[in-house]
Amino acid sequence: GENVEQHPSTLSVQEGDSAVIKCTYSDSASNYFPWYKQELGKGPQLIIDIRSNVGEKKDQRIAVTLNKTAKHFSLHITETQPEDSAVYFCAASLGNNNDMRFGAGTRLTVKP
Amino acid sequence: DGGITQSPKYLFRKEGQNVTLSCEQNLNHDAMYWYRQDPGQGLRLIYYSQIVNDFQKGDIAEGYSVSREKKESFPLTVTSAQKNPTAFYLCASSEGLAGSSYNEQFFGPGTRLTVL
């Protein structure tokens, strides 16, 4: 079945620096890759997603890249701010399109 | 306000008791899901429902049960058979099944269940 690995598990950056979180997946039929941000005590919220017919997508300070050949995708946050501090999850759809598998999460801390 | 709600936010139960977690959505979504979240782990799928009166087991369904009698409601019962029930439970919904393109999942705020 699908296996999603996410690294690093924790990441600490200085305000203004960039943060990169990486995920790999195993199911070559996966075609949808969302990223979620979860703040303390709340449910995850979608921040950006990418589909397999696109290699990169950008939304202001957030970008996601996808390498289908290598089966990995990454989240890039530029000009980080303290309010970016949260746990970030990647996910990949299963080839049967019935549901998704989530990475274990990355706790990002942005120090002012 | 459109959205997905879960209640209660915190729940305490004694070992051996069944407990039911509520999940309601007014987004008119067909699909609903229950996930379990443990520290240092990703979300793990317990059950999902594609349509009213139908539901499927996820990866960790043992010790849990669900019902989907109404489109907007998908309650989860944690039974006494669940060996380690203390966790953060998240409900989600989407227009269609989550793995399909364009079917964003919307998550509720979660319920933290503690079994004493």
- B43 or B97: which carries more pLDDT confidence? B43
Average model confidence (pLDDT) across chain B: 90
What is d(CA B69, CA B63) in angstroms, rounded to the nearest whole number? 20
The band of B104, judged by pLDDT with boundaries at 50, 70 and 90, is confident
Chain A residues 22-51 with a CB less than 8 Å from chain B: 31-32, 34, 36, 41-46, 49, 51
Shortest CA distance from B104: residue in chain A: A46
Average pLDDT, stretch A1-28?
A: 94
Nearest by CB: B107 against A44, A100, A104: A44
What is d(CA B75, CA B69) in angstroms, rounded to the nearest whole number? 10
pLDDT at A45: 94
pLDDT at B114: 94
Is the minimum CB–CB distance between A109 and chain B shorter than 8 Å? no
3-class secondary-structure state, position B94: strand
Average pLDDT, stretch B41-51?
A: 90
SS3 assignment for chain A: CCCCEEECCEEEEECCCCEEEEEECCCCCCCEEEEEEECCCCCCEEEEEEECCCCEEEECCEEEEEECCCCEEEEEECCCCHHHCEEEEEEEECCCCCCEEECCCEEEEEEC
pLDDT at A98: 62
Q: Which residues pair with B90 in a beta bridge?
A: B35
Q: Note the pLDDT tens digit of each residue in A64-76.
A: 999 999 999 999 9
B2, exposed or middle or buried, with CB in 10 Å at 0-12, 13-18, 19+?
exposed
Q: Note the pLDDT tens digit of each residue in A22-81.
A: 999 998 888 889 999 999 888 999 999 998 877 899 999 999 999 999 999 999 999 999
pLDDT at A59: 94
Shortest CA distance from B55: residue in chain A: A98
The band of B26, judged by pLDDT with boundaries at 50, 70 and 90, is very high
Smallest Cα distance from B16 to chain A, Å: 26
Instruction: Give percent helix, percent strand, percent coil of chain B, each to the nearest 5.
Output: 0, 50, 50
| Cα–Cα nearest to A103, from A24, A47, A40 | A24
Q: For residue A9, which phi and psi values (nearest 5 degrees)?
A: -80, -30
Chain B residues 22-41 with a CB less than 8 Å from chain A: 33, 40-41
- A98 or B69: which carries more pLDDT confidence? B69
Q: Is the pLDDT of residue B102 over 60?
A: no
pLDDT at A97: 58
Is the minimum CB–CB distance between B109 and chain A shorter than 8 Å? yes
Chain B residues 40-99 with a CB less than 8 Å from chain A: 40-45, 48, 56, 58, 90, 92, 97-99
* Contact: A104, B42; criterion CB under 8 Å: yes
- Report percent pLDDT > 90 for chain B: 69
* Contact: A46, B108; criterion CB under 8 Å: no
Question: Which of A37, A66, A100 would best serve as a mutation to test chain B binding (most B beta carbons within 10 A)?
Answer: A100
What is d(CA B94, CA B106) in angstroms, rounded to the nearest whole number? 6
Average pLDDT, stretch B26-50?
A: 91
